[in-house]
Structures are given as structure tokens and as C-alpha cells.
């Protein structure tokens, strides 16, 4: 950690000036895009990105186009002052907090990618149009920051896969760095939405990590589809939350798996609701 204050900019002009200063120092730019409400999971991205010849740039922007539920957008926690202090403590070099008009100006043209099925499962089914918004804002931020590398957490594994595909299709010279899930003491994956859980819901949410861990332990006894059904039944029978999906899928294609393959990595993915709070998690279960 460091006490040196990062520069905070809001306009594109300021951003370009500060980025040029960093590049003039021979620094490569590592970018961490966020929607704020920062926690230790975000800070792990900052720490992973840091290096002697690397400057870390973090953006804070609550992107409306990736919310499929207006109430979810309205309730999304906004803690800008706290976020800036946290980034200061963890050695972020530059904080970009853009205004809406600079992300989506009047002449803004969205981009498209061929998803190859990455958007037609799990989050894509539960939140139609969500990934269009993600791709649009990340591409726009990449245009503005022009980083050498960008860090994304594996908690949003499907998002990570789609961003990699976007970078590949548009031939962007950006190295996408996946970052491991950071968990609370009870195993709950760190998320900005965790702050909206009641104490009882937070306790109940231990079910997600417990289920994923048990799935991994049982993988030698069942095929992937049987394992997924076992996990669904475990969550439903608990009565603690509303299950949206639980799938065991190929880590590369995100397609549901029915047989194990030695050369194929598989992950278990889950999404549930505790009242109005929606949580997702995943874990590699094979090999």
C-alpha cells in the first residue's frame, strides 16, 4: 500500500494529458475498469496490475446500458469518495471518473461482435442485452485509455470470455489478464452487491461456495449434466434463495457439458437471488 495520492480526472482532455505524462516516464498502462463500490476483490486487480514499469489506471463508471433491470441500476451502490481513498491506499496511479457525455457522446457509434454462442447461455439468458452493454462500454473505455493490458476478475467469467473475444475480433493490442476470485471468510465471492445483503442473507449465501466446492469433490462420481442437476437440487431444497441457473460448462465455449474430457477445462456456474439481491459465482471443477 502507499499514501501517494493518485490523480483524479473527469474529462477526456485531462485523461489524455495524464496518460501522456505516464507514458513519457516509460510506463506501460494497466487498466482496471470498474463500476465503483470497490472492495478487496477490485484491489486484488490493482495489486496484480502493478509493476516497476507499469502505471495502473482505474475507471469508475456505472454503465446504464448493461443493466436490464432499471431497479438494479437505481439500487447499485455509489461510494465515490470511499472508492478514491481505497485506490489511493493501494497505489493506483490515475483514476478516471468520466461523465456520461464523454462515454456516450451524441455521435457515439456502438460496436458489434460475433458472440459465437458465448452470450446465449447463463447470464445471456437471464439478462438479455446485458453483454451488448458490457462490450459497448469496455470498447469505448479501451478507445479512451488505450491501455497495454487490462485486468478483469474471474467472478464475471462469462464477461471475461466475451471481452477476450471482442479484443480478438477487433484486433486490439491489449493483453487481457484474468484475476482469481477473491472470497470473504465464509467463501462468498466478493461483490459490490454483497453490501445489500442482510446479515441473515449473508449467512445463507455461504450455500453458494459450499455447493460449488461439493460439486468439485463429486466430479469423479457423476457426469457433468448429472453433477449440475445435483447442484440445482441442493440449492432448491435448501429453501434459502431462488435459483436462476446452475450449469457445468466448457470453460472455453461456455457450452453445457455432458461428458468429461481430459483436455477440456470445466467450470460450474451459478446465479441465485436472495430477495432483490442477485449473486453469481463460479469455480473450476475439472480437471
Percent share of the chain, pLDDT over 70: 99
CATH 3.40.50.620 domain extents, the chain = 8-179
pLDDT recorded at residue 1: 55
In this structure, what C-alpha cell is assigned to residue 191?
461483490
What distance lies between CA 1 and its chain's CA centroid?
23
pLDDT digits (tens, 9 = 90+) for 78-132: 999 999 999 999 999 999 999 999 999 999 888 989 999 999 999 999 998 999 9
Does CATH place domain 8-179 in 3.40.50.620? yes
Position 3 pLDDT exceeds 70: no
Torsion-angle region of 123 (φ positive above 0: left; ψ -120 to 50: alpha; else: beta): alpha
Question: Is 42 considered catalytic here?
Answer: yes
**How far is Cα 256 from Cα 122, in angstroms, rounded to an integer?**
10
pLDDT digits (tens, 9 = 90+) for 135-191: 999 999 999 999 999 999 999 999 999 999 999 999 999 999 999 999 999 999 999
Position 252 pLDDT exceeds 90: yes
Catalytic residue among 42, 130, 261, 286: 42
> Judging by beta carbons within 10 Å of its beta carbon (0-12, 13-18, 19+), is residue 36 exposed, middle or buried?
buried
pLDDT recorded at residue 109: 86
pTM of the model: 0.93
Report, as an integer, the average pLDDT of 240-260.
97
The CATH code of the domain at 192-282 is: 3.30.1300.10
- Residue 263 — pLDDT band, cuts 50, 70, 90? confident
Check if the beta carbon of residue 268 is closer than 8 Å to that of residue 280: no
CATH 3.30.1300.10 domain extents, the chain = 192-282
Amino acid at each position: 500500500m502507499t499514501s501517494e495520492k493518485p490523480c483524479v480526472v473527469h474529462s477526456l482532455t485531462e485523461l489524455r494529458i495524464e496518460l501522456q505524462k505516464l507514458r513519457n516516464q516509460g510506463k506501460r498502462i494497466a487498466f482496471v475498469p470498474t463500476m465503483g463500490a470497490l472492495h478487496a476483490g477490485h484491489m486484488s486487480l490493482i495489486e496484480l496490475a502493478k509493476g516497476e514499469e507499469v502505471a495502473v489506471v482505474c475507471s469508475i463508471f456505472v454503465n446504464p446500458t448493461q443493466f436490464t433491470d432499471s431497479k438494479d441500476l437505481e439500487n447499485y451502490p455509489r461510494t465515490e469518495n470511499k472508492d478514491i481513498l481505497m485506490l489511493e491506499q493501494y497505489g493506483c496511479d490515475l483514476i478516471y471518473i468520466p461523465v456520461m457525455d464523454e462515454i456516450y457522446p451524441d455521435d457515439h457509434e456502438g460496436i458489434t461482435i460475433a458472440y459465437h454462442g458465448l452470450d446465449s447461455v447463463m447470464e445471456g439468458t437471464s439478462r438479455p442485452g446485458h453483454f451488448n452493454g458490457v462490450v459497448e462500454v469496455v470498447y469505448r473505455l479501451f478507445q479512451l485509455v488505450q491501455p497495454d493490458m487490462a485486468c478483469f476478475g474471474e467472478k464475471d467469467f462469462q464477461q471475461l470470455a466475451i471481452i477476450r473475444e471482442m479484443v480478438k475480433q477487433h484486433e486490439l493490442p491489449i493483453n487481457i489478464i484474468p484475476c482469481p476470485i477473491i472470497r470473504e471468510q465464509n467463501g462468498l465471492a466478493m461483490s459490490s452487491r454483497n453490501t445489500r445483503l442482510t446479515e441473515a442473507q449473508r449467512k445463507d449465501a455461504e450455500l453458494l461456495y459450499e455447493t460449488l466446492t461439493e460439486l468439485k469433490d463429486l466430479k469423479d462420481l457423476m457426469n457433468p449434466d448429472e453433477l449440475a442437476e445435483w447442484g440445482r437440487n441442493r440449492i432448491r431444497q435448501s429453501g434459502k434463495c431462488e435459483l436462476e441457473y446452475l450449469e457445468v460448462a466448457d470453460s472455453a465455449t461456455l457450452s453445457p457439458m455432458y461428458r468429461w474430457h481430459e483436455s477440456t477445462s470445466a467450470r460450474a456456474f451459478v446465479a441465485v437471488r436472495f430477495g432483490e439481491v442477485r449473486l453469481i459465482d463460479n469455480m473450476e471443477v475439472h480437471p
